[in-house]
Amino acid sequence: MIISDTVDYDIHRVENSILEESSDCIAIEEPLEIAIRYFKDGEWIVDPLMVTMRTPGDDNALVSGLLFSEGIIQDKDAIDTIDVKGENKGKYDVDNSLIVTLAKGNQLDLKNLQRHFMVNSSCGVCGKGTLNAIEIAYEPNIDKAGPIVNIDLITELPDILRARQEQFANTGGVHASALLTESGKVLHLAEDVGRHNALDKLIGHVRCNDMLKPLEQFVMCSGRLGFDIIQKAVMSRIGMIVGIGAPTSLALDLAKKFDITLIGFIKKNKYNIYTGAWRIS
């Protein structure tokens, strides 16, 4: 059982040129090993899927979100169970190995995933072994009709997000992804040391609980908007992504290709709409 996602460390703090003993609240980072179990040719097969660094907590949502984002599943019913796999306790008595059992009838082809090794917690694409593995597994249609968000709401979003970031308030060391309504109401928020993990946790939770309504909602992320963030949005047909940080060129190319509204560099009184300005009224 996870007691906490943070740990207190003894440190020294300097203020006004005075060095003092103190303590600091630090976000826990632990590896999570994920294996996948599926039925093929009359027998159950277990294959390693990946290892990722993450903040413990919401692990089932993280795993579910990963499977959605990688195109391994398209529906929550494709997952039969998510169980602890063996004894792999971390330093903080956290279960660090999970096995996902897919319902019978769900086929799996791991050849194109190329993810049988460590993925850095800051980048969801780092574990991709080849350029081909970065390609979208399938191309969903994203409806351009919504959401429609008021032009003045965007500059308020950093404060709205920060007010709900409990782990960030304690540690200053985690990212967040949130699902919001067109009016700016936060429906769910997930935090993790990894940008992509936070979004996977969010997607896993909202899709497994039938909360996602892309025509009426959008997603906000606390960090940089890279290709991996937009890819995950595409796979869940999310039409609008807002971030406090900057996007990359590859993220912009992908957002433009799939008619995603991408907004970044939000300041007190300004922001950039990189693609899909029609969703801002």
The residues that are catalytic are 123
Q: Evaluate whether 174 touches 27 at the Cβ level (below 8 Å).
A: yes
Spatial separation of the C-alpha atoms in residues 232 and 272, rounded to whole Å = 21
Going from the C-alpha of 119 to that of each of 9, 51, 52, the distances in angstroms are 26, 6, 5
266: Cβ contacts below 8 Å, ≥ 6 apart? 154, 155, 157, 158, 242, 243, 244
149: Cβ contacts below 8 Å, ≥ 6 apart? 182, 218, 240, 279, 280, 281
Residue 36, token pair as written in the block: 């996948």
Residue 124 has a CB neighbour count (10 Å cut-off) of 26
Spatial separation of the C-alpha atoms in residues 225 and 201, rounded to whole Å = 17
Helices (runs of H) and strands (runs of E) counted in the chain: 6, 13
Q: Give which of 195, 265, 277, 267 is closest to 239, Cα–Cα.
A: 277
Burial group, residue 31, by CB count within 10 angstroms (0-12, 13-18, 19+): middle
